[in-house]
Amino acid sequence: MPAGFRFLLATLLAGAGLLASVPAARAELVVFGDGRVVKAEGYRVLDDELEIRLPGGGSYRVDLARVDRIVDDEVVVDSVAVEERGFPRAAAYDLSYSAGRKPLFGSAYDALIEREAKRWNVDASFVSALIRAESNYEPRAVSRKGARGLMQLMPATARRLAVSRPFDPASNVGGGVRYLRELLDRYGNRPDLVLAAYNAGEGAVETYGGVPPYRETVSYVRRILGWWQPSDLSASR
């Protein structure tokens, strides 16, 4: 295991321990497609609408297609050493497609994952680890936030990626891997930032300068990087 990757896992584990010791400022962050963020006391999906409960009382409904994502469990930023999480800046990891790096879990969707990973030049083992975390390979999975399918695309994301049938495995994985390609192009060979952006949104990664200090996001990144082993670019040169 590359030394930089060991560093990442160690710091994420340490960060998770710190998060566990800090009382959560319980909140739901509803992120809209236009970048607006609303802090909510709670929410529920009602068909194609999202009902947002406000901290001061009351609620209102919005079209679910306007919602980019929902992030749980915001933590007070001052309580977390955000800058200590992530890869050393000098570390480089190869997240491009390689025929020798196969999907990890022997699912019925391995051939589909392989095909879309090759099409978009993304590491197939990385895609498979993300799908396991998102839906555990259930093609009709629907989260309580309204995310759908194998790669748990929110309606707004699916629409942007031209995924009209989110429960169709080929359509869902095709769109999800395309989105991963966009994130890889944006964040380079930084799998921690790519995963954080997939979970919490690019805006959160930019705001916090790295993995945002959300319990859900830190746990998500740590879980996937526990399954997936990177290919070290420096070792192959």
Catalytic residues: 134
Q: Which of 66, 71, 42, 72 is nearest to 54 (CA)?
A: 42
Give the amino acid at 35. Answer: G
Q: What are phi and psi of 28, to 5 degrees?
A: -115, 125
Structure tokens, 74: 């915001």
Q: Please give the C-alpha separations between residue 177 and each of 36, 43, 180, 214, in angstroms, as whole numbers.
A: 25, 28, 5, 24
SS3 48: coil
Alpha helices (H) in the chain, listed in sequence order: 3-21, 110-120, 124-135, 155-160, 169-187, 191-200, 202-208, 215-227
Structure tokens, 196: 């954080």
Instruction: Name, in order, each residue with C-beta under 8 angstroms of 40's C-beta and a sequence gap of 6 or more.
Output: 27, 28, 29, 30, 52, 53, 54, 55
Give the amino acid at 83. Answer: E
